[in-house]
């Protein structure tokens, strides 16, 4: 069965600085999708970024980028120029090519210090 | 205005009582999911449905039941057999057959036991 691990339960970053959240996963499949979701205090789940495993190029969305290392099964999220609004729980998630089930990691709580 | 509506936002259950959480969507998405989130933990899959009149158990289906009589609706019943129902429940949808496999989430229902 696929598993997703986030080894950092909590992280903090100074406003305007850069922070990297770690995620590793375990799968025997070669084609899949990886996601980072953000859950602010409102508890609304918001998609931050998405990566397709067959694409070697790392995904980027404005201040958010990933470092996707397929061989190492690693998928870290880098947040540049951190803002107070980035404070939230961040969940790494995996789904196979068929997308029938998402597997979520336990989450990393990010605090942004003014 | 397209989206996913979960109701109620807060729900209280008495001992031995069944309660039903509502999830309605007007995104015309085929797949619908129910997740449970406990404090400080990731999301765990309860049930999912790919098409009308069909659904499958997730990882923690015991004590829960669902129906999918309409494409737009996927209600979740928390039965008296679920001994620890206090949690935050999230409904999600997914457009099947699209290259973008992301999940869209509702705003959640917080269930507590009286």
A83 Cα to chain B: minimum distance (Å) = 22
Note the pLDDT tens digit of each residue in B25-53.
999 998 999 999 998 788 999 999 989 99
A91 at the B interface (CB within 8 A)?
yes
pLDDT at B2: 62
Note the pLDDT tens digit of each residue in B10-27.
999 888 899 999 999 999
Mutate to test the interface with A, among B10, B42, B45 (most CBs of A within 10 A): B42
Listed in order, strand segments (DSSP E) in chain A are: 3-5, 10-14, 19-21, 24-26, 32-39, 46-52, 60-61, 64-69, 74-79, 88-96, 102-104, 108-113
- Look at residue B1 and tell me whether its pLDDT is greater than 60: no
Say whether A101 and B58 touch across the interface (CB within 8 A): yes
A44 at the B interface (CB within 8 A)?
yes
């Amino acid at each position: 069965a696929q598993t997703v691990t986030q080894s950092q339960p909590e992280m903090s970053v100074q406003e305007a600085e850069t922070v990297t959240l770690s995620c590793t996963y375990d799968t025997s499949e070669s084609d899949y999708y990886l996601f980072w979701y953000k859950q602010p205090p409102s508890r609304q789940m918001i998609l931050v970024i998405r990566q397709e495993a067959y694409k070697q190029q790392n995904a980027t969305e404005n201040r958010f980028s990933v470092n996707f290392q397929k061989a190492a099964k690693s998928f870290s999220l880098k947040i540049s120029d951190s803002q107070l609004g980035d404070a939230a729980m961040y969940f790494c998630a995996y789904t196979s090519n068929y997308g029938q089930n998402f597997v979520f990691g336990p989450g990393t709580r990010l605090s942004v210090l003014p | 205005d397209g989206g996913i509506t979960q109701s109620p936002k807060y729900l209280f259950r008495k001992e031995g009582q069944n309660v039903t959480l509502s999830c309605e969507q007007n995104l015309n998405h085929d797949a619908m999911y129910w997740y449970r989130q406990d404090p400080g933990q990731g999301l765990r899959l309860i049930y999912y449905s790919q098409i009308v009149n069909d659904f499958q158990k997730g990882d923690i289906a015991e004590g829960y039941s669902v129906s999918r009589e309409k494409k737009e609706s996927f209600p979740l019943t928390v039965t008296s057999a679920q001994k620890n129902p206090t949690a935050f429940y999230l409904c999600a949808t997914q457009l099947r057959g699209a290259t973008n496999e992301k999940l869209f989430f509702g705003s959640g229902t917080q269930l507590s036991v009286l």
